[in-house]
Structure 1
Amino acid sequence: MSLTLTLAVADLDRTEFFYRDILGLQLETFEPAPEFPRVLLLLCGDTAILFRRQQALEASHPALFEHLDRHPKGVGMTLELELPDLEAARRAIDRQQLHLLYELDDDEFKRREIWLHDPDGYLLILT
């Protein structure tokens, strides 16, 4: 089974900078078809995360996405991402002066976690 998540974002360039340059993740950029706007793709094993402009989603599916900005994005959802270099991401987060919710050492699972929100408010746990 595979899973694809579509996340609405306000600014694809800002999202790309955050996930690629701060977190160090590999993103692909593509246009699904000539008449469709650019999409960012983050592959995580059998899971794909698509980042699409909120305006494009609202235009394509007005009944489903109307007034998407009335509520915080990702309410009740947490994205847990295993980074290739957590320390490098932590230094980049500090350089950008991003707000961390907290850091913790999870002794039970023997890993370190960094909790923060991405530029659109999605809650991330970085390991």
Structure 2
Amino acid sequence: MMRSLLPLAAAMAALTLSACEEPAASTPPAPPAPPSPPSPDLPMTGAKAREIIGDLPLPCVELASLKADMLTCAERVGGAADHEGLRTELRDLRWTLQSLPADEAASRCSALTNELRTQPKPQACWNLGNG
């Protein structure tokens, strides 16, 4: 009888010890992905560019407006105006910047805007924007 109780006692001891172990730490679920930026119909306008940028900081809204003005300027002077390219560029920009802290996103947009403002503006486009 003692021999039949020995395996049972060993099994009970193993179960008791396994119940005392710390449960494995579970990792918290990943935060939900940010929403996809809107994709307005073409042709692009300043309002549609700002719609894509959404609630990013003001320097990013300014950048979107400037890029839309540059597209309009390209059309005025007979250059290539890639509306779909601008929409994609602004959507990518928002996707990248919306996960950053607001001050960092604003800083990046300000730097890009300042860089674009150094480019000469054709006379036909002087009435566009405020740069």
Is TM-score (shorter-chain normalized) higher than 0.5? Answer: no
Structure number with greater Rg is 2
Instruction: Indicate the structure with greater helix content.
Output: 2
TM-score, normalised with respect to structure 2: 0.30
TM-score, normalised with respect to structure 1: 0.30
Instruction: Indicate the structure with greater strand content.
Output: 1
